[in-house]
């Protein structure tokens, strides 16, 4: 689809299927295209909604700077534009996971379940924040490709660059679509995101945590730490997957999500 035309959001989004609303938020520096295998594989049992964050894919940049809270509001603007008032399952990978956690904090009654893929609860360290600033300066000086190309070797499980050349090609293609404005705003949003650790014990909804065992960007220990702190969760660590398990092991990823959706309690009941 198109640009959601309500006053809260101008995000481009794709929509497929019917059933429980399942909003999937992409990682950095990608777009909703990274969820193509989930749109195809999950639309049989869910209404899959895939926005592009501002300045990525087909969404305009909207603002010079952003916060993860604003991204969460932008994503809920898509639900509002579609008049979806029932609680939705919100899933996010990496940056998308930071946004999903922000959504659970801001709109807890509108979140029926949470999927946290390849992400972490903590904020950036002082060193991490300084690196984001350096990266922003590099993007301003030279454009986003230097940054995205330097991240490229870390996205997949090392063996998958040879074993899954089609996926490696997709990763390159999708990240090349990122605009300088989008990349700069997202780096600032990630740098300034709050520490969500205190939120974890208060999450009232079921949470699915998925992480690649070979993630080179966010170690699986981060997923294990979230699982220890969240009351109702399932933790799945996927073999032969790095930072993008939904692309590297799409069938397994979809199978786990389908199982999670099938076990969701009816809205209004407690877990
Ligand atoms: C992502 O994959 O969204 C980013 O690598 C996350 C981050 O840099 O913190």
Read off the pLDDT band of 6 (50, 70, 90). very low
95 lines ligand 1 (CB under 6 A): yes
Compute the CA torsion angle 18, 237, 90, 128 (nearest 10 deg). -150
Q: Which residue has the higher pLDDT, 64 or 122?
A: 122
Give the chain as a DSSP string: --B--STT---BEEEE--SEEEEEE--TT--GGGGHHHHHHHTTTEEEEEEPPTTSTTS----SS--HHHHHHHHHHHHHHTT--S-EEEEEETHHHHHHHHHHHH-GGGEEEEEEES--SSPPPHHHHHHHHHHHHHHHHH-THHHHHHHHHHHS-TTHHHH-HHHHHHHHHHHHT--HHHHHHHHHHHHTPPP-TTTGGG--S-EEEEEETT-SSS-HHHHHHHHHH-SSEEEEEETT--S-HHHHSHHHHHHHHHHHHHTPPPTTS--
Pocket test for ligand 1, best of 24, 25, 26, 28 (most atoms within 8 A of CB): 28
From the CA of 243, give the closest atom in ligand 1.
2
**Could you tell me the pTM of the whole model?**
0.96
C-alpha 120 – ligand 1 centre gap (Å): 10
Query: Of 125, 105, 83, nearest to 222 (Cα)?
Result: 125
pLDDT computed for residue 122 by the predictor: 98
- With 0-12 / 13-18 / 19 or more C-beta atoms within 10 angstroms meaning exposed / middle / buried, residue 82 is middle
Give the separation between CA 234 and CA 115, rounded to whole angstroms.
Answer: 10
Read off the pLDDT band of 147 (50, 70, 90). confident
Pocket test for ligand 1, best of 190, 191, 244, 248 (most atoms within 8 A of CB): 190
pLDDT computed for residue 62 by the predictor: 85
Backbone angles phi, psi at 58, to 5 degrees: -100, 10
Read off the pLDDT band of 10 (50, 70, 90). confident
From the CA of 26, give the closest atom in ligand 1.
3
From the CA of 155, give the closest atom in ligand 1.
2
Q: What is the tens place of the pLDDT at every residue in 46-94?
A: 999 999 999 999 999 989 999 999 999 999 999 999 999 999 999 999 9
Six-digit token string for 115: 């999927």
Q: How far is CA 22 from the centre of its chain?
A: 12
119 lines ligand 1 (CB under 6 A): no
C-alpha 28 – ligand 1 centre gap (Å): 5
Read off the pLDDT band of 271 (50, 70, 90). low
- Bridging pattern class, strands 233-238 and 207-212: parallel
Give yes or no for residue 119 having a pLDDT over 50.
Answer: yes
Strand order in the sheet with 207-212: 13-16, 46-51, 20-25, 88-93, 111-117, 207-212, 233-238
Q: What is the tens place of the pLDDT at every residue in 250-268?
A: 999 999 999 999 999 887 6
């Amino acid at each position: 689809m198109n640009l959601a035309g309500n006053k809260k959001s101008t995000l481009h989004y794709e929509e497929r299927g019917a059933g429980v609303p399942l909003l999937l938020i992409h990682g950095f520096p990608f777009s909703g295209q990274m969820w193509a295998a989930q749109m195809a594989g999950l639309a049989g049992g869910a209404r899959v909604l895939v926005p592009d964050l501002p300045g990525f894919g087909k969404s305009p940049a909207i603002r010079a700077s952003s916060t993860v809270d604003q991204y969460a509001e932008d994503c809920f603007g898509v639900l509002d534009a579609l008049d979806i008032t029932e609680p939705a399952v919100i899933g996010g990978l990496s940056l998308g996971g930071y946004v999903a956690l922000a959504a659970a904090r801001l709109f807890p009654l509108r979140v029926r379940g949470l999927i946290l893929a390849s992400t972490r609860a903590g904020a950036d360290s002082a060193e991490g924040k300084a690196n984001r600033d350096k990266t922003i300066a590099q993007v301003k000086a030279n454009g986003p490709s230097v940054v995205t190309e330097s991240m490229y070797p870390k996205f997949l499980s090392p063996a998958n660059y040879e074993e899954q050349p089609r996926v490696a090609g997709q990763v390159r293609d999708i990240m090349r679509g990122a605009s300088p404005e989008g990349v700069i705003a997202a780096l600032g949003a990630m740098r300034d995101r709050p520490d969500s650790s205190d939120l974890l014990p208060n999450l009232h909804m079921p949470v699915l945590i998925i992480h690649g065992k070979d993630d080179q960007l966010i170690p699986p220990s981060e997923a294990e730490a979230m699982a220890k702190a969240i009351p109702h969760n399932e933790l799945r660590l996927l073999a032969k997957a790095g930072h993008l398990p939904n692309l590297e092991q799409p069938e397994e990823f979809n199978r786990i999500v389908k199982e999670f959706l099938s076990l969701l309690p009816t809205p209004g009941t407690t877990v």
